[in-house]
Amino acid sequence: MSDHKTSSLARLRNYFLTGFIITAPLVITVYLIWTFVQWVDSWVIPYIPAVYNPETYLPFDIPGVGLVIAIVTITLIGFLTANIIGRSVVNYGETLLGRMPLVRSIYNGLKQIFETVFSGDGASFQKVGLIEYPRPGLWALVFVATEARGEVKARLADSEVEAYAVFLPTTPNPTSGFLLFVPRPDIVLLEMGVEDAAKLIISAGLVTPKYQETLATLAAEAQQADKVAPARRKRKPVKSE
């Protein structure tokens, strides 16, 4: 009787953990999306004239109106700045900002960051690697950004090996970290993608991306078999007397 009760409790615990694993990510995702929508609405809706606000004519609130209007407005601004007149206006505004000492530094820095992250020329993080940090024998996960450029590259010109700029994120918040310039031979490149590496960092190593080691072994064996097969075909069969 006692064993049966223990088994039932263990089964109920497993059911609860299974349901928790399924529902928790879904609830957290919905919560984050809902929070973001409400945050955008709280910023945009106060600037919408009552005549154009659908909530003026309805007895209930419509979540996401501010988000839709923000997306449409940003897209319209991008369309207008794509022509000659729009670019002229933007250049004139940037010239005014360039004359403001403090605002100039903030604007130029943010503009360069956004252009780098959202550009389609592959300038964002593309590779993941390991480096020995903070001392030999301890390995840290890094995002490989690009080769050393500008004055850093010129100052390191006397070095025998080329240096790469890498970003060393912190756990569990990968948005903060350190910028390091590491010699290329000291970086161990990994096959995992940037998203998988971010999951590994956020989870503090609990969520490990799948490594296709078995698949790689089978592929190597298949290639070796293809190399051996032609050699076997060239051999003439021995005639039996």
**DSSP symbol at 231:** H
Q: Please, is 133 exposed, middle or buried when counting C-beta atoms within 10 Å of its C-beta (0-12, 13-18, 19+)?
A: middle
Maximum Cα interatomic distance, the chain, rounded to a whole number of Å: 104
* Positions of E strands within the chain: 127-132, 139-147, 163-169, 177-183, 188-190
Write out the chain's pLDDT in tens, 241 residues. Answer: 566 667 888 888 888 888 888 888 888 888 989 999 889 888 888 888 888 788 788 787 788 888 888 898 888 888 887 777 777 888 888 888 888 888 888 888 777 777 766 665 555 677 899 999 988 889 999 999 888 888 888 887 766 678 888 999 988 887 788 999 988 889 999 988 888 888 888 888 887 777 665 556 666 666 676 666 555 555 555 454 4
Give residue 241's pLDDT: 47
Give residue 198's pLDDT: 87
Could you state, in order of their start, the residue ranges of all structural domains in the chain?
A: 1-108, 127-210
How many CB atoms within 10 Å of residue 125?
18
**Rounded Cα–Cα distance for residues 50 and 37 (Å):** 20
Of 36, 61, 30, 35, nearest in space to 48 by CA: 61
Query: Which run of H or of E encompasses 11?
Result: helix 2-44
154 phi, psi to nearest 5 deg: -65, -40
> Residue 236 corresponds to which amino acid?
K
Give residue 214's pLDDT: 52
3-state secondary structure of 45: helix
Query: What pairs with residue 140 in β-bridges?
Result: 131
**Rounded Cα–Cα distance for residues 235 and 225 (Å):** 16
Give residue 46's pLDDT: 86
Q: Which tokens belong to 140?
A: 């840290």
3-state secondary structure of 44: helix
> Is-contact 164 182, C-beta < 8 A?
yes
Give residue 234's pLDDT: 52
Of 56, 63, 74, 60, nearest in space to 35 by CA: 63
pTM tops 0.75 = no
Give residue 220's pLDDT: 67
